[in-house]
Amino acid sequence: MIEKNLPSPPAPDSAIIAGIAVPPISHARFAIGDVVQHRIFEFRGVVFDIDPVFANSAEWYESIPEDMRPAKNQPFYHLFAENEEGSYVAYVSQQNLVRDDSDEQIEHPAIAGLFDGFADGRYNLRREHRH
């Protein structure tokens, strides 16, 4: 019997991108309180929640242009974000974020309700929100 080198089936939680199985990113690169910036678009934000994999609506996902659509099998971050036009809440994939090393605070009105200060380039979670 001749064995053929057939590709292994993808793991159940792998994404198929361009016909290639991409395993999930197993850990979050950023933590709650970290200041990040978008890799492509001009905005910064502070992480206030993390989903280990995509957990938003299908409509939201489909609204992203296909050539820019991120894989679902990676951490997604909820951010108190700001840009030149104002502040808002953003939902961003890990692949599209980089650490912001500017040491500048984020001007978002919701930060004071969840965080208790800014030091060393990150926000400290209020004691009542820690577990």
Q: Is residue 57 part of a domain?
A: yes
Q: Is residue 95 part of a domain?
A: yes
Instruction: Output the pTM of the full model.
Output: 0.79
Written as one string, the DSSP assignment of the chain is -----PPPPPPTT-EEETTEEEPPP-S-SS-TTBEEEESSSS-EEEEEEEESS--S-HHHHHTS-GGGPPPSSS-EEEEEEEETTEEEEEEEEGGGEEE--S-PPP--TTHHHHEEEEETTEEEEPGGG--
Q: Is residue 42 part of a domain?
A: yes
Q: Is residue 11 part of a domain?
A: no
Task: Give the domain extent around 114.
Answer: 27-129
pLDDT of residue 99: 97
pLDDT of residue 128: 81
pLDDT of residue 90: 98
From residue 87, alpha-carbon distances to 15, 62, 67, 84, 108 in Å are 32, 24, 26, 9, 6
Q: Is residue 10 part of a domain?
A: no
Bigger pLDDT: 63 or 2?
A: 63
pLDDT of residue 9: 45
Q: Is residue 49 part of a domain?
A: yes
24-46 mean pLDDT: 92
From residue 42, alpha-carbon distances to 2, 45, 113, 124, 130 in Å are 55, 11, 25, 24, 30
56: confidence class by pLDDT, cuts 50, 70, 90? very high
pLDDT of residue 23: 60
1: confidence class by pLDDT, cuts 50, 70, 90? very low
Q: What is the largest CA-CA distance in the chain?
A: 68
**Residue 81 is part of a domain; what is its CATH number?**
2.30.30.390
Q: Is residue 100 part of a domain?
A: yes
Q: Is residue 109 part of a domain?
A: yes
Give the number of domains in the chain: 1
